[in-house]
Amino acid sequence: MKKGEACALPRAVVKYKFPPERAYDSKLLYGSSITKFRTSIITTRHYRAPEVIMGLGWSFASDIWSVGLIIAEFFMGRVIFQAQHNREQVAMMERLIGPFPKWMISASDPHTRTYFDRNGRVIFPEPGVDETTKYVDDVPSLSILIPPSKYPRMYEFVKACLSFDPNLRPTASEALSFDFLNIYE
């Protein structure tokens, strides 16, 4: 695709109805514009994929991360990652999904590697920095946020979209085949 060309994607209609106790009124501004195809930072912090934060580059898989996060937020009724900086964001990601893959940590930029201990766990708060852990502590695990026994289709979809490894996330076309997006067909 050349700069300025429109991208023709199939239209998908999400027919899933969120339970009333989980639904909330929201105006959604998704994504951000970029002027160069290979800028290093994309999207707003709340929706930024881990590979972007870790300096590993980005691709369309980064958008899939954002979609999964937005679906989870609609269900939860609030922004999940209310981070003020990258270390806090990475700590929140670990709380939601679990440990980062070792390869991502070792391939990340040198500064980001300092976020992790020898066992690959996020060090938060940063040693010697006086900051609260309240927002990190408030992030539930994905299986607590979306109980798989109660909402299996949504859980599987969001879990696939929020894979730390961008190569394991579904493509946009693959995402359309998930039962969650085809629940009434």
Neighbouring residues of 102: CB distance < 8 A, sequence distance ≥ 6: 120
Q: How confident is the model at residue 41 (pLDDT cuts 50, 70, 90)?
A: low
Confidence of residue 130 (pLDDT cuts 50, 70, 90): confident
Residue 167 has pLDDT above 80, yes or no: yes
Residue 3 — pLDDT band, cuts 50, 70, 90? very low
Domain boundaries, given as residue ranges, for the chain: 45-182
Residue 38 has pLDDT above 80, yes or no: no
Cα gap 155→158, rounded to integer Å: 5
Bond into 125 cis (ω within 30): yes
Asked whether the predicted pLDDT for residue 131 surpasses 50, the reply is yes
Q: Is the pLDDT of residue 111 over 80?
A: yes
pLDDT > 80? residue 63? yes
Give CA–CA dist 149/16, Å, rounded.
17
In this prediction, residues 53-67 reach a mean pLDDT of 91
Residue 95 CA to residue 99 CA, distance in Å, equals 8
DSSP 151: -
pTM of this prediction? Answer: 0.78
Average pLDDT estimate for 141-164: 97
pLDDT at 66 over 70: yes
Q: Between residues 28 and 65, which one has the greater pLDDT?
A: 65
b/e per residue, 137-165, with b = 16+ CB within 10 A?
eebeebeebbeeeebebbbebbbbbbbbe
pLDDT higher for 31 or 74?
74
SS3 122: strand
pLDDT at 40: 53
Pick the CATH number of 45-182 from 3.40.50.10490, 1.10.510.10, 3.30.70.890, 1.10.10.10: 1.10.510.10
- pLDDT at residue 103 greater than cutoff 80: yes
Q: What is the mean pLDDT of residues 119-132?
A: 91
